[in-house]
Each structure stands twice: as structure tokens, then as C-alpha cells.
Structure 1
Amino acid sequence: MSAAGRIGLSRPRKPEPGVLLGEDWMTGAETSEGEALKPRRARRGLISLNRSPLARKIIIFNLVAMVMMVAGVLYLNPFRDSLVFQRESAIVNEAELIADVFEARLPKSAPVNFAAGDGIDLPDTLAGIELPTGTHLYVFDPRGAMLLSSSEVPASPRERVDGLQIDHRSTLITDLLNGIWDRISKVVRDEPEKDAVYDAKRIATSLLPKMADGETHIDTRRDSDGATIFSVVTGVYQGDQLVGILALTSEAGEIDQLVRVEREQVLQMFVIAIIVSIGLSLVLASTIANPLSELAAAAEIGQEKNARKMSPSRVRIPDLTARPDEIGRLSGALRGMVTALYDRIDANEQFAADVAHEIKNPLASLRSAVASLHVVKRDDHRARLLEVIDHDVKRLDRLVSDISNASRLDSELVKEEEEHFDLLKMVGNLADYLGKQAGEKGVEFIIDLPSQPIMITGLEGRLAQVFVNLITNAISFCEEGDAVRVWARRRDNRVLVVVEDTGPGIPEEALTKVFKRFYSERPEGQFGDHSGLGLAISKQIVEAHGGVIWAENIRPTDADITSEPLGARFVVGLPI
């Protein structure tokens, strides 16, 4: 019994069944599913938009975002607003500078009359002013009568300045997009007046009433074609007296051409961005839609196979676990689910075969006893046969009950709610109750539990079932004078509960079999009294709690594993 204190958790655990360990879907012989997926991959290529709604959505959503962004930039048009402000400031400065030129040529004290030409030569003054191309200047007297316009006087030639030319670079695509935008903008912007035609003289004349306060005024409007026209009216003063009025109008669409050039550059970048976006969307769609399509196709092939019973081969999910994204996780999860499902199917098939085999034994014995009962004549033989029949019936009843409990265990473990409880208190209560049974058999029962409680989270009733199985098994293998010891210790983040006995021990070849279903290593006197499912159920419950359970023999020394065992030991390790 002294060896019990050296039990630890250093024993390595075997890989859990049902966990996928590197199954390679693409290596080895091609499965029927792999062959079935080949034509789909050949037809698909990089990406098939007509076969992939997800790819179409990715591309459309990316394009819609791009179009909305560019449309917002063009609609808000901060570049045009900035140009309008700059041009308004510039034409106001031009008008005031021209008025300063006129004022500079006025006599300081002599009377001035623009209408009579007294004090200033209007044509000569106007001819010396260089006006931008398309700009018109009108001269009015203080009463608003037009005296002269720049179109009536030969203007001085305007020198060309290198670097001020507009860059008219455009493409067929940008011209098309520009035309589309112009049509759309005409729909959304305010309608011009019906007579809003470009007439510089009429525009200049319409501004004269604004000179009643003697201040400079600017007017910005659009003609029927949507071209922008800037107009300024300002006064010419001799001292504080208004002697004349100047009206300056710009060329129609002067900044619209600049805006168009800027818009074309935006559209050129838009076209490039669209091409790049489509390309990246195709690549993105291929990395998302194609793997998902393969996963779906593999699942669909499995569904068709199961529905039509086409092929007995297993469904294989593509191995995309090397991808560090959600698709890799999905592939691994699906492969694990499929593997776990097939493992469960195999386990159910094996369980059904084992059940049939285990039931056949008592049935065969029962059939033989019933057949013999009809032919025997002696009463003692008939009594013996009736005992065999009664034993076999009880064995069948016990076997069916245990099989029913084992078959429901998985679903019940999932449905039952876990709770936080004191493991030592539960083990202590079981030991007190089962110790009485041991005492009635003449077996010494020893309990060695720590004084401090050990709290764990789990299914208290199911874990109690485990320790009942282990303790009753230990008692059943003991004879009068033997001993059973139940002790527990805390090891870091685990708790160990150990059940030891001084019985005959476990045969070495049976140490790896005792937890298998229907396996029973019992003395001859206990034949048929146990179904062989108790330890298998216990192992299933412990592993459902994230724990481990194993069996070993107690030996006088670890150095000699061939020495006669002093008893058996079952160890349960549970996480805290």
C-alpha cells in the first residue's frame, strides 16, 4: 500500500479518438469525391462569376463603394468651389485695377464728364488695357447710359505666358464618363432661366442697379448650357464723386474647362482604381469563394452519396487548415466533424456487434437449458437447469439495462447541467456507504482524504457513478482479510482520486483492455454477474470532464515489474 503515495500525472496520454491528426485529402490515392471534384475545378479556373454568387457580391460591393466615393467627390466638387472663389476674387481685383487706371487718368480738379468726353479719352484709355480673352468691359456714365465697350475698341494684344495653358489630356473612356456625368448633373442641378443665354451686355446692364450704394458688386451665374459667367460692377471716382461705372464680364465656361480637366484626371484615376479593384476582387473572391465552393461540393457529394447509396467510401473534406484564416478554421472544423462522425458510426457499429455477441452467450445457454429441461427426468437436474435459466435471465436483464444506460450516456452528458461541488465530500459520503458493504464481507475499508475541500465543476451524479463502480469493483475482487483504500491528493491544477485494493491484481495483458466495453476479467464464481460495461462507462464520464483514468498493479518495487502484484490501483485525475 505504500506505493500509493507516489501516484502522479506524469503518465502520457494517448491521442483522443476522433481528433484529426494530419489527414491529407490531396495525397495518396484519389478518392471518389476527389475525382468528382476535378471536373468542377477544371471548369471553374480562377473564378467563375456565373457559378459563384459570393464572388459576384464581392465584386459588386467593391465597385459600388468605389463608385459612391468617386460620385461623392465629383458631386461635392471642392475643387470647383475653390476655383469659383479664386476666380471671383481675381475678377474683382481686375475690375478695381481697371477702375484705378481710369481714375489715374482723370484730372485732379477739372470737371469730368464721361458722356461728353471731358477730362478723359475713354477709347484711348480702354485701348491701353489688356483684357483676358473672352472678357468684356463696359463703361457707363453715372446715370447708367452705356458709353463704350471693349468690343468697340481694338484691344491691346495680350502676351502669351508659358505654363498657363490648360492640359487637355483625356481618353475615350474619360470623355464617355464625363459626358455621362454632365447629363446626370444637368438633371440634379437647378434649371436655368429660359432666357439665360450668354449676353455680356445684358448681364452688365442688369448689374447697374446694384451700384446705388456705390459699392463693388459681383455676380456669378450659369447660362442655358451650364457655363459659369462671372460679372463685376464697380465705380470710377474723382475724389468722392462717382463719375463713371465699369462692368466687367468673364468668358462663359472659363472655369468649367478647368473643372472638366480636373474631373478627367479624377476619372482617369477612377478607371485605374476600378481595374485594380476588379482584379483584387477577383483574387479575393478566388481565395474565398473557390475554397468554400470546394467545401460545399464535397459536402454535396457526400449528401448525394448517402441519399443514393452510391459509394461506400468516406466523404473527404479538402484540407485547407494551412490557411491562417476563418476558411482554414472551417475546413479543420468540418474535417474534425466528419472524422468524429465516422468514428461515432464505427463505434456504434462495433457496439452493436458487441451487444449481439454478448447477448448470444446467455441466449445460447438459456436455449440449451430450456431444451434440456424437456428431457431430464431427475428433480435435482431439473432444479439445476432452473437455476441456470434464472441466472441467464438475470444476466440478460442486467446486460440490457447496462447497454441501455451506455447508449444514452453521450446524450445525457450533453444535456445535464454542470454544477460546482465539493469532490471530497461526495467521495467521502460514497466511501461511508460502501464501507459498510466491505465490512459485511470482512474487507478492511480505509479512507484517506484531505481536510480542506476541493471544489470542481462537473456532473456530480455522473462522477459519483464512476467512484461507485471503482469502489464496488475493488470490493468484489477482495476476500476476507483484504483491504480497500480510497485516498485523494491535490496536484497543481488537478485532483487525484485513487482506489486501491489488496486483491489478486490485474493480469498484465488485461491492463489495456479493462476499459473496453464488455470486457470482464472475473473469478469463476462471479461469472455472469457483471456486464463488463462499468469501467467503459466510467472512462467515458471521466474523459467528458476533461480528466484521465487508468489502471495499474501495485508492486513491492518498481524495479521488478515481474514481481507478484500486491493488488490493483485505479487512478482518476480531474481538472480543478
Structure 2
Amino acid sequence: MEPAIASPRSDDRELTLRWSARVSLTPRILFVNVFALAMLAGGFFYLDSYRSRIVDSRVAQASREARLIAEALGAVAPDARPAVALRLARDTGTRIRLYDRAARPVLDTRALGKRNFVLLDPDKQDWGMAAARFLDAMIDTVVGAPRAPLYRERRSGSDWPDVRLARNSLRAPATVWRAPDRTPVITAAAAVPNGGVVMTTVNARDITQTVRLERFRLSVVLAIVSLVSVLLSLFLARTIVRPLRRLAWSAVRVRMGRAREVVVPRLPSRRDEIGMLARALSDMSLALRARIDAIEAFAADVTHEMKNPLASLRSAVEGLANVRDPELQRQLLAIVRDDVHRLDRLITDISEASRLDAQLGRAKFESVDLGALITGLIAQHTARGIEHEVVLRFDRPTGGALTVLGEGARLERVFENLIDNAISFSPEHGVIVISAAEDGDDLVIRVEDEGPGVPEESRETIFNRFHSFRPDSESFGKHSGLGLAIARTIVEAHHGTIHVESREDRLHGARFVVRLPLGPRA
């Protein structure tokens, strides 16, 4: 068994996929689709930038609210400030604290009964919120988001960085803190016109809820798309990889020498490239099987055909050692010569028949004038003398050359075999007529003899190798039985046809018809 050999070709660089060629098709298909899904999953990280923009806008809003609240409290009398602070806390949803010049607490809306700022205890929340916080922490870690400081209550105003900055400047600083449940807490402070600092605090839980809701929706979409993509990938891999594996396994079995028992699937329902590949491989395996059968039959026929002359030669040689009669010795020597000539002719024809396909596949076709070729063959036979005083006649149309594309030596062998075959079957003083005529785009050559003709049931088998259908008057072993087989092989290699039929004039004899495509006219 021959090893599989990968022949380098000039187009290997265009077909090689470097590292991906080492991976099976199924994981490659899955990887491509999952990679596209991974890009879609990047939306999770986009939500972090979306959250940052919302937090920045809320920080700016907290600074403006703190400045407005400070101006509102500075515009009223000190005893009216608690009522105004409660009303503003209710309208803005913030906790408002007022500190004096020494940063001591003066007013707190929470102490006044407005509990609109409450931090949730994460230990008392369900597992869903714990999972959401874990996902928040994981995404913040992946994107490298800055971690806000943990929010803790301070005793005096000087412990708050916003209060310290607001006391020493005209700005309204704001800070983002992190609540125990990972929701943002925004504090802002502004100086009161008549002295003191007001600080607002809000737990922006709605920002986290909005981001988590969008993340949940994106997760649902991503899960559905992932499931569909994986199923489609598996379906695509199944429709591509499975037939390719079947074809590859069939090809391996053919290579291992099991061509007779291998049935390459043709996949008739597929009209794509895989179906084309399957049918091409199936046709190739059938052609290979036919070629193997032909080679085996040819080898068997060769063995059978060579056994007869070898057996006759062996008997004659053994007889020469025991015969003393000169006449018998001459007869045995004549038998030896005939058998040697027959073996030589048989080996020559077998060698030509075995090499014919390969030689014709490499032949370069040129313009050949069949009229001149047939005229030359008739002249050669006439000069050598024709058996049975047979007459050769060539009927050709008047005008230009009868040109076809082909190899002149091979085409000459075709008509030489047909003429020799017609001579061997012709009676005494018979006439062999060779005619040529154009029929559309083809040139039709007919060779007619006056012999016994070919039975209808044998008109196809006579073109088989080693087929024996010879006239009774011909001595045994004069022909190898390969002449018509060689002629058909040459004609078909020239994209033509050859067959035998009865004569149209209803006389005895056979008509061989060769049809070849016309070549370009001069």
C-alpha cells in the first residue's frame, strides 16, 4: 500500500490557512460565530461608559442643586430655614444638612423627620441582588473603572471634603461615594451667602437600576443570539463536516485498494459545492474502478493470448530434440518461427495498447490532411502488392483538403488497421472502397469491403481487446486481436467515434464508419 503523498503545487500558498488549517472545521465555525457574539458582548462594557456619563451628569446636577439650595436658605430668616429645607428636600429627593461657620451641624432634614436618604443593607437582600453586585464588580475590574470610596457618616462638617472646599471657595464641589450595596451616593456642598455651608446627599440608586436593567435585556438578547448561533454553527458544521468526512473516508478506502467495495456518496439532493465534490469523487471512483477492471481484464487477456503460442512453441522445441526426420524438423522449425513472429507481434501490439492512453494524453494535435494520408496508405499497399488481388479505391470530394486536428501517425494507424482488416476479409479480386464526406462540423470516413460482414450481435464486441473474429482462410495467429481496439482508442482520443454497420447497397460486406471533428480550414 502506497503512502499518501502531498504533492506541492504552485497554488498551495493561496489555499493554506497557516495556523487555522490545523484545526477541524467544526471548532473553526464555532469560533467565528462566537467571536462575533463576543463583540456583541462588548455592549456590557459599553454600559459602564454609559453609567459614567449618567453619574457625571448627576454630579453636575447635584452641584447646581446645592448652590440653589444655599441661596434659598440664605434668603430666608434663620427660624424659617427648617421649613424651607424640608420643602426643598421633598422636592429634590436629597438629604439637606446645614453647617455654621465652625462646621458645626445646625440643621438636618433627617432629624426633622424627612427620611429620604436610606442606605440598604446588602446582607438583607436576596441572591439576585448579590449576583448583580458580583457582576458589577467583575465588569468594573475588567474595564479598570475607578473604585469610589465607601460612604460613611461623619460627625462634623469639617470631616466632609465637600464642606471643607465649599467653605474656602465659591465653588460647589461634589463627590461620588459607594454605598454598601454598590450604588452611587453623591454629595455636594455650597456656601450660604450669610455664612455657613449647606450639604446635599442623595443615593442615586436609579442609575444602578437603569444600568442593571439594560444589562439584563442585553443578556437575554445575547443568550438567545448565542443559542441560535451555536445551533446554526452546529447545523452548518454538520452539513459541511459530515459529508466531507464521509467523502474523505471513502477516498481513504479507495486509496487502500478497496475500490470495488467502496460506494462514494453522490449526495444528489445537494446543489452546492459539496454536492459537486461528492459527484466528482463518485465519478472519479467509478472511472478508477473501470480502469482497474480494464487493467485486470487486459492482464488476464494478455496471459491467455500468450499461453497459446508459448505452449505451441514449447511443444515444437521439445519435439525437435526427439525428431530425427528432416522433413518433420523443418515443419517444427516453421512452427517455431510462426510462434516467435506471433509473440513478437503480440508483444508489440500489447506494448502499444498499454501506452496508448498516456501517449495520446500528452500528444499535441496539429492539422492533418486525411485525404493525403489515405492516398499515401493506398499507394503503399499497391506498391507492396495486395493479397487476393484486392483493389483499393478512394472516393473523395473534389476541392480542398480534408483537414482534422490530430496526431498524424496515430490517425494513419487507424486507417491502416481498417484497411488491413478489410483486406483480410475480402474475397479474391474484391474491391475495398474508402469514401470521405463532410457532415456538418464532422468529417465522415467510410471503409467498405465485400467480405462476409459483421453479425449484428458482434458489432460492438469486435472493438474489444483480443476479440477473435477472423476469416476461415486466414492462418491462425496472424493478427493479435488488438487492431480495432487500438483504432477505437485513437479515434475517441481525437473526440471522434467509430462503429461498424451494414452496407447500404445491401451487398455482402461490412462498412466501418469513422467520424472526426473537422479542423480549421486553410
Contact 1:550 1:572 in 2 (8 A): no
Contact 2:437 2:445 in 1 (8 A): yes
**Residue 129 of structure 1 pairs with residue 88 of structure 2:** yes
Distance 1:372 1:297 in 2: 58
Instruction: Determine helix, strand or coil for the equivalent of 2:301.
Output: helix
Distance 2:79 2:410 in 1: 116
Q: 1:276-325, CA deviations, whole angstroms, 9 ceiling, x for partnerless residues? A: 4444445445545555555566667778896xxxxx98234456433444
Deviation at 1:244, TM superposition (A): 9.1
Counterpart of 2:351 in structure 1 is 404
Deviation at 1:346, TM superposition (A): 2.4
Deviation at 1:222, TM superposition (A): 6.8
Deviation at 1:189, TM superposition (A): 0.6
Instruction: State the identity %.
Output: 33
Contact 1:469 1:538 in 2 (8 A): yes
* Structure 1 counterpart of 2:498, from 549, 553, 571: 549
Which residue identity is paired with 2:299?
A
Counterpart of 2:481 in structure 1 is 532
**Residue 517 of structure 1 pairs with residue 495 of structure 2:** no
Q: 1:481 to 1:339 in 2, by over 3 A?
A: closer
Contact 1:192 1:224 in 2 (8 A): no
Counterpart of 1:427 in structure 2 is 370
Q: 1:155 to 1:361 in 2, by over 3 A?
A: same
Counterpart of 1:388 in structure 2 is 335
Which residue identity is paired with 1:436?
A
* Structure 2 counterpart of 1:259, from 199, 206, 211: 211
Q: 1:269 to 1:207 in 2, by over 3 A?
A: farther
Distance 1:82 1:268 in 2: 19
Which residue identity is paired with 1:259?
V
Counterpart of 2:162 in structure 1 is 204
Distance 2:442 2:312 in 1: 45
Distance 1:102 1:181 in 2: 35
Q: 1:123 to 1:499 in 2, by over 3 A?
A: same
Deviation at 1:403, TM superposition (A): 1.1
Contact 2:25 2:241 in 1 (8 A): yes
Contact 2:434 2:447 in 1 (8 A): yes
Q: 1:329-358, CA deviations, whole angstroms, 9 ceiling, x for partnerless residues? A: 454444434433333332222212211221
Q: Which moved more, 1:435-444 or 1:227-236?
A: 227-236
Deviation at 1:86, TM superposition (A): 4.9
**Residue 349 of structure 1 pairs with residue 296 of structure 2:** yes
Which residue identity is paired with 1:197?
L
Distance 2:415 2:107 in 1: 114
Q: 1:246 to 1:566 in 2, by over 3 A?
A: farther
Deviation at 1:498, TM superposition (A): 1.5
Deviation at 1:394, TM superposition (A): 1.2
Which residue identity is paired with 1:554?
R
Contact 2:468 2:481 in 1 (8 A): yes
Instruction: Determine helix, strand or coil for the equivalent of 2:261.
Output: coil
Instruction: Determine helix, strand or coil for the equivalent of 2:88.
Output: coil
Higher helix share: 2
Deviation at 1:570, TM superposition (A): 2.1
Distance 1:138 1:123 in 2: 10
* Structure 1 counterpart of 2:137, from 182, 186, 189: 182
Please, what TM-score do these two structures have when normalized by structure 1?
Answer: 0.65
Q: 1:489-547, CA deviations, whole angstroms, 9 ceiling, x for partnerless residues? A: 253xx523424234426322432222110124444346533212122123234434554
Which residue identity is paired with 1:390?
R
Contact 2:313 2:336 in 1 (8 A): yes
Distance 2:187 2:397 in 1: 106
Contact 1:471 1:499 in 2 (8 A): no
Q: 1:378 to 1:262 in 2, by over 3 A?
A: same
Contact 2:369 2:402 in 1 (8 A): no
Aligned Cα root-mean-square deviation (Å) = 4.8
Q: 1:125 to 1:273 in 2, by over 3 A?
A: same
Distance 1:486 1:236 in 2: 125
Q: 1:173-213, CA deviations, whole angstroms, 9 ceiling, x for partnerless residues? A: x97698367325414414547xx33369735347649966x
Contact 1:229 1:249 in 2 (8 A): yes
Distance 2:288 2:84 in 1: 100
* Structure 2 counterpart of 1:154, from 106, 112, 134: 112
Contact 2:189 2:198 in 1 (8 A): yes
Instruction: Determine helix, strand or coil for the equivalent of 2:463.
Output: coil
Distance 2:52 2:380 in 1: 103
**Residue 75 of structure 1 pairs with residue 45 of structure 2:** yes
Q: 1:319 to 1:481 in 2, by over 3 A?
A: closer
Counterpart of 1:19 in structure 2 is none
Q: 1:229-260, CA deviations, whole angstroms, 9 ceiling, x for partnerless residues? A: 556677889xxxx9998765542664223212
Q: 1:386-408, CA deviations, whole angstroms, 9 ceiling, x for partnerless residues? A: 33322221110110121122223
Distance 1:262 1:185 in 2: 16
Structure 1, gaps ≥5 residues long: 1-52, 107-112, 159-169, 307-311, 557-562
Contact 1:134 1:251 in 2 (8 A): no
Contact 1:501 1:567 in 2 (8 A): yes
Distance 2:144 2:395 in 1: 96
Which residue identity is paired with 1:198?
Y
Distance 1:472 1:483 in 2: 11
Contact 2:443 2:518 in 1 (8 A): no
Counterpart of 2:15 in structure 1 is none
Which residue identity is paired with 1:348?
I
Contact 2:66 2:189 in 1 (8 A): no
Counterpart of 1:61 in structure 2 is 31
Contact 1:542 1:548 in 2 (8 A): yes
Which residue identity is paired with 1:74?
F
Instruction: Determine helix, strand or coil for the equivalent of 2:27.
Output: helix
Q: Which moved more, 1:340-349 or 1:316-325?
A: 316-325
Distance 1:175 1:280 in 2: 34
Matches within 5 A, 1:255-334: 255-292=207-244, 314-318=261-265, 320-334=267-281
Q: 1:272 to 1:534 in 2, by over 3 A?
A: same
**Whose RCO is larger (CA < 8 A, sep 6+)?**
1
Q: 1:499 to 1:380 in 2, by over 3 A?
A: farther
Counterpart of 1:29 in structure 2 is none
Contact 1:438 1:444 in 2 (8 A): no
Which residue identity is paired with 2:141?
K
